Amino acid sequence: MSALPENIHTTFDRILQRSDKEALLNQHGIVIWMTGLSGSGKTTIAVALEKLLAEKGVLTQVLDGDNIRSGINNNLSFSEADRKENIRRIAEVSKLFVECGVVTLNCFVSPTKDIRQQAKDVLGDDMVEVFVNTPFEECEKRDVKGLYAKARAGEIKNFTGLDAPFEAPENPFLNIETVGRSVESCAQEIFNAVMPLIKQ
């Protein structure tokens, strides 16, 4: 951690510890970081996964790109520097939840290894990476938000997968291929893999 500026006095040592909060909730906080192209299914799967977890009494928080960009990060652009700042804030917000024992379901394109590494640098082993693996052609066919059509028409620049890169994770915790599968089956696969981490 970098040195604190003068006049900043953190209270971390005086508040209830993470372990106390986790005991209270009877769960272990983790960040399930979903990466994948726009329209790959991150948010849809997170919503289904949240339901499965809630049925087992797990407290969660879904964080997704559009919500964060319309709220806490509404002053950030898509410039290189602002993309970095976007991820830094998301990771720090996730850390606050995780320190409280909450399971966060993060739905962010997070297109490069570098960006995901930045999050990992903040979250360490509390973060598991889930690749929502849907090919570009399929995402373009779905075009849930009409963004692919706009990007093709040149109305959106630096669109991930088209004129900005998407670097697939090399060694994700899970690789979820969505084509030809139901949302429920994808969510169930993640649920099965993360439950042992949450209920240790």
Q: Residue 71 class from Cβ within 10 Å (0-12 exposed, 13-18 middle, 19+ buried)?
A: exposed
Q: Does 188 bind ligand ADP (CB under 6 A)?
A: no
- Residue 34 · residue 105 · CB < 8 Å: yes
- Residues 171, 28: Cα–Cα separation, whole Å: 23
The torsion region of residue 138 among left (phi > 0), alpha (psi -120 to 50) and beta comes to alpha
Of 94, 110, 182, 185, the catalytic one is 110
Q: Which is nearer to ligand ADP, 27 or 38 (CB)?
A: 38
Q: Is residue 159 helix, strand or coil?
A: coil
Q: Does 169 bind ligand ADP (CB under 6 A)?
A: no
Q: Which is nearer to ligand ADP, 38 or 60 (CB)?
A: 38
Q: Does 42 bind ligand ADP (CB under 6 A)?
A: yes
Catalytic, 19? Answer no
Q: Which residue is nearest to ligand ADP (CB)?
A: 41
Among 144, 157, 192, 199, binds ligand ADP (CB under 6 A): 144
CB atoms within 10 A of CB 186: 23
Residue 128 pairs in a beta bridge with: 32
Size of the site for ligand ADP (CB under 6 A): 18
Q: Does 51 bind ligand ADP (CB under 6 A)?
A: no
Q: Which is nearer to ligand ADP, 27 or 60 (CB)?
A: 60
* Cα-to-chain-centroid distance, residue 128: 9
Catalytic residues: 110
Binding site for ligand ADP (CB under 6 A): 36, 38-45, 107, 132, 142, 144, 178, 181-183, 186
